[in-house]
Amino acid sequence: MGRTVSSDLQDLLDLESCKTHTTLDLYLTDTSEFHFATDEFSIDGRDYTKDLVSADQLKQSISSSTNRVNVLIQNVDKVFGGIVANEDLIRSVAVLGRYYYDEKGVIDPLWVELFRGELNVLEVNEQQVQAEVVADLTAAGYCVSSWTLVELCQDRFKDPATCGYSGSETVCNKKRKSPFGCLGRDNEHRFNGMEFPDIQVPQPPIGGGGDGDPPDDPPPPHCPRVDQWLKIEGPEGNAIAIGASELKKEHLLWCPATQRFEEIDEVYIVRNVPIFFFEARNGCALYSSWSHMAMPHLDHPTGRRVDSYGLGQAVLTEKFNVLLDSVAAEAKRTGDPGDVIVIHMKGGHVYCAGATEGGFIVSHNKPINPDMPAFG
C-alpha cells in the first residue's frame, strides 16, 4: 500500500525537477537533539548539518520480523563517535525523513517524515558510524512503552547510580551471564534486564563413545535454520542477502575464501532438528543445527562445530561485506526444534549465514568427518 501524498508534496513532485535530501533526527532522553542530512539546510525551525553519509531505501518485508533502515553517519571529527561511546544514544528516538525543494524557488520546500523508530548502533570506526533504525512498534526500547522486557541490561555502562562498575573495561555486551558482561565483572547483582530462566535441555542420545557424544544418526553438519540469511549472487553480479528458505540449487553462494560465487550441488530441508544459538562478540549471530561448522579463520580446513566452541575462541564474521575477526560470546542450545536447510557446495565450501541480513558467521559445509568435532 502506497503512502498518502499531500497536495503540497504533489505540487513539488509534479515539477520538471525536484531535488531531495534524506534527513535523520535524533531525540535523546536528556532532551538534546541532533539533526543530520545529506546536505545543509534549515526547515521548520531545525538546522540540519551535512553529517548523514547515506541511508538505505525503506524496506518492508513479510519475511523479516522487524522493519529497519541502515544509516551511515560521518565520524571523521570524532564527535558522534564520542556520543556513542558514552552511551548517550540509549533509548533515543530516530526519525528518518526527506526534504523536497524546488531549485527555482517558486514552490516552498517541504519536509516529510518517512520512518520512526529506535537507533541501534552496529559499528563505529574512525570514519563513520554504522547504525540501523528499527521500527518503533517492534523496537525493544522506550519509543512506545515506559519499560521493556528484554534480555539485555538497560542501564548505562559505568553509571555510578545504576551499573556501579568502575573498572578498566570500556565496553559491555549488557548480558548477565557473560564474561563480557556482568559475570565477567562480578556485577551480576546490579543487572537490570529481563531474567530468563535457564532452558533445561535433555542430553542427546549417547553415540557409543561416552556421555555427550553426537547421536548415532546426527543431522548433516552445514544447516542454518530456514529463517536465517544467506549471501548469493544478485541480478547485477553483486552479493545480496536472501532468506535461507528461498535458496535454490540454481543460486550461486558467495564464498569469502575464494572471493567468488560457487555452485550448489544439493540443497534440501531437514525437519525438527535441535537448534543451537551461536553469537560472536561483534554481534553477528546464527541459529543452526548443533553440528553447524563455523570458521575460526579462512585457512582453517574444516571449520569448528558450533557446539564445540568455548567463549573467547576465534570466529570469522562478515558485516556489511567486510570480513572481521571476532570471538565467540555465546554458544548454547535453544531447547526448541526447528527446520534447517542442508547445503552441499560444488566448490569453495565456505559461505556466509547469519541471523540478520547485515551480519554473518562465515561457515564451512564439508567437514572431513561430520561425526566428529572439528578442533584446532
Say which CATH class 7-135 falls into: mainly beta
Backbone angles phi, psi at 215, to 5 degrees: -60, 165
User: Would you write out the chain's pLDDT as a tens digit for each of its 376 residues?
Assistant: 556 778 888 888 888 888 999 999 999 878 889 999 999 999 999 999 999 998 887 655 555 545 778 889 998 877 887 777 767 777 788 999 999 999 888 899 999 998 888 887 877 777 888 888 877 665 554 445 555 666 778 788 888 888 989 888 887 888 887 777 888 888 888 888 876 554 444 444 333 333 333 344 444 556 899 999 999 999 888 899 999 999 999 999 999 888 899 999 889 898 888 999 999 988 899 999 988 999 999 888 888 999 888 888 899 999 878 889 899 999 999 888 899 999 989 988 999 999 998 899 999 987 544 443 333 3
- Using an 8 Å Cβ cutoff, are 41 and 21 in contact? yes
- Name 354's bridge partners: 229
What local confidence, expressed as pLDDT, does residue 362 receive?
Answer: 95
What local confidence, expressed as pLDDT, does residue 185 receive?
Answer: 85
What local confidence, expressed as pLDDT, does residue 206 receive?
Answer: 33
What local confidence, expressed as pLDDT, does residue 167 receive?
Answer: 87
Q: Distance between CA atoms of 124 and 329, rounded to whole angstroms?
A: 19
What local confidence, expressed as pLDDT, does residue 39 receive?
Answer: 93
Q: Which three cell numbers stand for residue 259?
A: 572471493
Backbone angles phi, psi at 82, to 5 degrees: -65, -35
- Say whether domain 229-364 belongs to CATH 2.170.16.10: yes
What local confidence, expressed as pLDDT, does residue 252 receive?
Answer: 94
What local confidence, expressed as pLDDT, does residue 228 receive?
Answer: 95
What local confidence, expressed as pLDDT, does residue 37 receive?
Answer: 93
**pTM score, two decimals?**
0.45
What local confidence, expressed as pLDDT, does residue 5 receive?
Answer: 79
Give the largest CA-CA distance in the chain.
Answer: 82
Domain boundaries along the sequence of the chain: 7-135, 149-197, 229-364
Among 242, 234, 276, 288, smallest CA distance to 64 is for 242
What local confidence, expressed as pLDDT, does residue 242 receive?
Answer: 93
CB within 8 A of 124, min separation 6: which ones? 75, 81, 84, 85, 130
User: Nearest 5°: CA angle at 87, between 83 and 90?
Assistant: 115
